[in-house]
Structure 1
Amino acid sequence: MINLECIFEEVGIPLKVFIRRRVNNDQDTEDILQNVFLKIHQNIHTIKDYNKIHPWIYQITRNAVIDFYRTQKGEIITDDFIREMNRDTFEGGNVNEEIGQCLKLIICHLPEKYKEALLLTEFQNLTQKELAEHLGLTLSGAKSRVQRARAKLKELLLCCCRVEFDHYGNVIDYERRCGNCKFC
């Protein structure tokens, strides 16, 4: 049986971000989110394959946003709006790709010793012990270098962008702080 509480905890924040990007205020976002959770609760029994639950939830959410606009006086749902809704997902694929590109640019601007530590451990999958041997450092020195590199990367990212994370540490939303960021 599917545990609703776990599902709500897992998708609540990404759904809220997804909805908020499409409506104009927090109250409407909360209302739509509650309607989505109610529809999930009422229809969860129809899911036969747990692997298909996220697309199903996304479809409910997308329809709820479209329904919201249909009920607004004077709002016209255009074909472009529906195409945009069909293209988007709430699972953060686009956000992760965008922030990933930004991180690559930031890494290139790190001091050489930090850039090398991150590239070797994060992209070439060297352990910190292997990094220490490769660079001729003690294990403690290698761990410190990786931690400092990560801290510097985070500092530069947060200088340029406001980033929102879920409770697992995954990026769920970001916004550039200014238009003249040299990284994004």
Structure 2
Amino acid sequence: MSEGLKTSEEIWLLLGEQLKSFFVVRVRDHQTAEDLLQETFVRIHAKLDTVADVQRIRPWIFQIARNLLADHYRAKSKEAARLAELVEAAPDHEQQLEDVVIGWLPRMLELLPDKYREAVELYKLQGMSQQEIADRLNISLSGVKSRVQRGRSKLKDVLYDCCSFEHDRRGDLISISRNEDSAGNFDGKFEE
């Protein structure tokens, strides 16, 4: 994926959605995520010519994103600064694995039936409350809760059908491998 990423535009086209998902999942606020994404690309654009090894550009980009996220948490409060330290302290390998999985989310969400996909996207990616979703979709709060829970369960199923995950004794993710019977392109369908 890193090969040929020489301009900010190429990086935007290939990694923009992954970076946006990276921020949305962590800050749970769509506007804040957009701001962090924009600042990430300002920094990428300013420093892109300093990258010596094009093969390492993706980890470099996500390090910028992690640093901006840490700065964001520090600015919010002391408690948030402690969370930022946890983000900074995460092993680089583990963070890269997590970034890969987060990058899969948009494609995986497309596999969900519309009613589950919409509820999960509004709740998890756009940061809406479940009550706001109920009002927007004109359904009951319990209906929203059910759709979000079932949608998350279906996402988990497709992820575990695709890949195997290895964890250490503490439960930290240490490797991901594609299952032999999975093409890894998430072209399966869910049943209602």
Q: TM-score, normalised by structure 2?
A: 0.50
In structure 1, the residue matched to 2:190 is 155
Which residue among 58, 61, 80 is the counterpart of 2:86? 80
In structure 1, the residue matched to 2:150 is none
Residues 40 and 57, structure 1, Cα contact 8 Å, conserved in 2: yes
**Per-residue deviation at 1:154?**
1.2
Which secondary structure state, in structure 2, belongs to the residue aligned with residue 154 of structure 1?
A: coil
Which residue among 156, 161, 167 is the counterpart of 1:102? 161
CA distance in 1, matches of 2:17, 2:65: 13
Number of residues of Structure 1 aligned to a counterpart in Structure 2 = 115
Is 1:57 the equivalent of 2:61? yes
Structure 1 residues not aligned, in runs of 5+: 105-121, 126-149, 160-184
Structure 2 residues not aligned, in runs of 5+: 105-155, 164-179
Residues 32 and 64, structure 1, Cα contact 8 Å, conserved in 2: yes
Is 1:30 the equivalent of 2:38? no
RMSD: 3.3
Which secondary structure state, in structure 2, belongs to the residue aligned with residue 123 of structure 1?
A: coil
- Please give the per-residue CA displacement for 1:84-141, whole angstroms capped at 9, x wherever unaligned: 4853236414776x6442358xxxxxxxxxxxxxxxxx8399xxxxxxxxxxxxxxxx
In structure 1, the residue matched to 2:122 is none
CA distance in 1, matches of 2:9, 2:38: 14
Name the amino acid aligned to 2:95: D
Q: TM-score, normalised by structure 1?
A: 0.52
CA distance in 2, matches of 1:76, 1:91: 21
**Per-residue deviation at 1:74?**
4.6
Would you identify which runs of 4 or more consecutive aligned residues in structure 1 move more than 4 Å? 93-96
Q: 1:102 to 1:26 in 2, by over 3 A?
A: same
Is 1:123 the equivalent of 2:181? yes
Whose Rg is larger?
A: 1
